[in-house]
Copies of this chain bind each other. A is one copy, B any other.
Amino acid sequence: MIKALLFDISGVLYVDRDPVPGAVEVLRSLQHSGLALRFVTNTSRKPRGQVFDELLRMGFPVQESQIFTAPRAVHHLILERSLRPYCLIHPDLETEFVDCDQTVPNAVVVADAAERFDYAHLNRAFQLLVAGAPLIAVGDNRYFSSGGALHLDAGPFVKALEYAAGVEAEVVGKPAAIFFRSVLASVGCAPEEALMIGDDALADVEGGLKAGLQACLVRTGKYRPGDEKRIALPGARLADSVVEAVAPFL
């Protein structure tokens, strides 16, 4: 018995800047279904407000409070632990961390920094890690799909820093179970009563299954044939798109 549907956003609801055919319509139907809807993303090139605006502009009937972004979870953790982060993040995301003390950093935060992933920034992060700063990662996604090609996400740079400094990152976004659980806490349902729908076999589907959710891999966005074989746990559903994935709940 499913009580909550969790959607990855980019690659699931839309690809590049175009809604997946039928996605806006099924979302409209679902908003009146009695199911709790949550939009769960590691996207870290923009703050939550911009994620929300873009979904609205594409016609998706979402509320900002239904959107859970990994960078906001990182921000919460930083404040909770009174850390002073060195933020290797996209310039557009800086507004999410503007209230954090970033002088004399004692932690390294890595999100999808895009062109800021250059030698100087990575070397600075590395030197802080060697000096003992913890490494906090928004996610460990390998790549994302855009303009018909795959592009490096934050994960590879997190791995680079882990290897260089001999440390292990604390991953705060998907696939971390704690992230899925914080989303479900806002619904008040058990993990097995929730279905995670995503195009990332590891972060969305394997991560969701590991956290006890049901999970469905969609063949849109970054999906490549055979991705389902990379999921180490049994029980993943497979659907051509988000429209097929939610059909049982309409």
Contacts and interface: CB of A to CB of B under 8 A. Distances in A.
Given A118-B117, A119-B114, A126-B143, A156 B164 contact: yes
Closest 8 CB pairs of A and B: A156-B160, A160-B160, A156-B164, A159-B163, A118-B118, A117-B119, A115-B119, A142-B164
Nearest to A116: B119
A157 B115 CA distance: 15
Contacts of A120: 115
6 contacts: A114-B119, A115-B120, A117-B122, A152-B164, A159-B160, A160-B160
Interface string A137-173: 0000011000001111101110111011110000000
Contact of A164 (B118, B123, B155, B164): B155
Contact of A118 (B119, B126, B151, B156): B119
B114 A152 contact: no
A150 B130 contact: yes
A127 interface: yes
A142 B120 CA distance: 16
Interface of A: 114-120, 122-123, 126-127, 130, 142-143, 149-153, 155-157, 159-161, 163-166
What secondary structure prevails in chain A residues at the interface with B? helix
Contacts of A122: 117, 152, 156
A231 to B, nearest CB: 14
Contact of A152 (B119, B149, B153): B119
A249 B153 CA distance: 51
Contacts of A123: 151-152
A159 B164 CA distance: 9
Contacts of A142: 163-166
Nearest to A153: B164
Contacts of A116: 119
Contacts of A114: 119
Nearest to A149: B127
Q: Could you say which of A118, A119, A163 has the most chain B C-beta atoms within 10 Å of its C-beta?
A: A163
Contacts of A149: 127
Contacts of A157: 160
Given A116-B119, A126-B143, A126-B152, 11 more contacts: A117-B119, A117-B122, A123-B151, A126-B150, A142-B163, A142-B164, A143-B164, A152-B160, A156-B161, A159-B160, A159-B163
